[in-house]
Amino acid sequence: MRSALRRLRSQATAFTHDLLMVPVAWLGAFWLRFNLESVPSELWRLAVLYLPVVWVVQGVTFWYFGLYRGIWRFASVPDLIRIIKAVTFGVSIAGALIFGLTRLEGVPRSVFVLDAVLLIGLLGGPRLVYRWLKDRHLYIARGKRALIVGAGSGGEILVRDMLRDATSPYRPVALVDDDSNKHGRDLHGLPVEGPCDAIPALAKEYGAELVLVAIPSAGSRELRRIVAICERAGLAVRTLPPFHDLVSGNVGVKELRNVTIDDLLGREKVTLDWNAITGGLTGESILVTGGGGSIGSELCRQLARIKPAKLIVFERSEFGLYKIDLELRRQFPELVLESVLGDVSDRIGVDTVMREHRPSVVFHAAAYKHVPLLEHQARPAVLNNVLGTQVVADSADVHGAKTFVLISSDKAVNPANVMGATKRVAEIYCQHLAQFSKTRFVTVRFGNVLGSDGSVIPLFQEQIASGGPVTVTHPDITRYFMTIPEASQLILEAATVGKGGEIFVLDMGEPVKISYLAEQLILLSGKRPGDDIEIVYTGLRPGEKLYEELFHSSEQFRPTAHSKLMLASSRSIDSAALELGLVALRGSVQLGSEEQIRVALLALVPEHCSLPAGEAARLQTA
């Protein structure tokens, strides 16, 4: 009720103001007609005589054209257009009425044009001045002083939003843009001062406290450059999300967020052939092993969206299984979901699941992956990664699954550790089965996944939160990175396009220095590397390489129809030697001898190079 009364009072005040402007414009037009000198008395008498006609006509047209639907506080171009239409129409009607009454005898025709111009100025001017005063008040009084990067549409909308919002925590002081054509211009009263390289100097000149990046289309390379410039100036940085992450295309203060490591590492948005994916997987019964892990759980989320006939989640961790089961049942209440607690190396348990649920597609994500832990524990690594894969793959073959997707690792290429060697044996076995099975066996190989369980980023974040130091093994060590959703979606793509026997390699972009990763995470936490948080280099751990590879030298690279999927041509497999090698590997696991397990692994993967040359030669001849 109170808001309605306030609005009514506001409309009445605006209407009264506009009515008072009508005689000012009408009589002022006669005065202007005679160059601001005295108006002849007879003409002045006619002006006063016809004023009621003009007054009534203009009042009616003002209301008819909706001049009081808007709020003066937010007066803008549409309001000005309404004023022009109302005034033009009112002057035309008033002129026609006066002409009908007097044939305009003694009334200069130019008076009507001057009246329209004056009235538009007298109605529009106060509205715009009122808005400017309100915005200027906010601009002067509130928020942290912010430099805006980007004088395009994103910057314009962001600045406008900050000036309008009385609760905005930021106060824009100037803009920068690398487009030289925009330099020297104003945007909502703020100057576009120069390129991004000028940020340090401008920050001192304007007393800026932070930088807001208003370029939703900015790529990771551009964002890294801007962040590096801001770091030199000691300024915090916030950014708008990429356009594809903005809800309904909204751009504003509420969408601003801290720059994340994902932004700086920069993975281009993956564009998938969802028609092919849904056509190949919708309505199918699908099994995901390791469904409670980082990759497995995201696969389950993606699969749940495409409406499989049934989703079977197989996981050895009770808590991991509980979490993904709870999430899927809450988010996808119509999903037919079976959550099975089990171990991939348990042949009876795996066969039972295959027999009861008859999955047509199997995503094998279950694996041990922590390199240093596995390096001295080869037995559990082989039991889970090799023999577990063999159990699930054999069962998928026996029970008639249409597709089996093995999720492998770049560490399987020239493996320098036990983990990589076990994943390479798993690859070899799936390629072996693909030669004679009716099941399509497809392998997908990729590198480190941002934010996955046990990955380096959560470790660094914990170290930073505890005050450091951040431990990096070597200044020059590099790794490939991708996001969990990207990895999962590309796995789905490979599952639908694979014919069987292929190794698909995901395009990981450029490798990233781990030291750079550590520095950026420290900076993004608001601290300075070396001053607030120390980076300590601890030396390479057992089985760790300086850099990872995506292809073996004998695997020829071939592009696919999808720009993010590459194909590694498979190497020839000696099936008899593989069978003998697996028998030896299984026997060594049963005996529990770490040395014999390593001998068997080396026989299956001759390029396995985690051991010194002399020790490897000794094992090969043992």
Give the active site residues.
411
Amino acid identity of residue 13, one-letter, is T
H/E segment holding residue 311: strand 310-315
On the question of a cis peptide bond just before residue 469, with omega within 30 degrees of 0, the verdict is yes
Q: CB-hemisphere CA count at 13 Å for 117?
A: 10
The neighbour count for residue 110, using CB atoms within 10 Å, is 12
Give 410's DSSP letter. G
What does the alpha-carbon distance between residue 250 and residue 158 come to, in Å, rounded to a whole number?
Answer: 10
The helix/strand/coil state of 609 is coil
Output the DSSP codes for 477-536. -EE-EEEHHHHHHHHHHHHHH--SS-EEEE---S-EEHHHHHHHHHHHTT--BTTTB-EE
Amino acid identity of residue 238, one-letter, is R
On the question of a cis peptide bond just before residue 23, with omega within 30 degrees of 0, the verdict is no
Instruction: Pull the structure tokens for residue 200.
Output: 């340090």
For residue 7, CA distances in Å to 1, 4, 69, 71 come to: 10, 5, 10, 9
The neighbour count for residue 204, using CB atoms within 10 Å, is 10
Residue 266: closest CA among 519, 448, 512, 494:
512
Q: CB-hemisphere CA count at 13 Å for 556?
A: 3
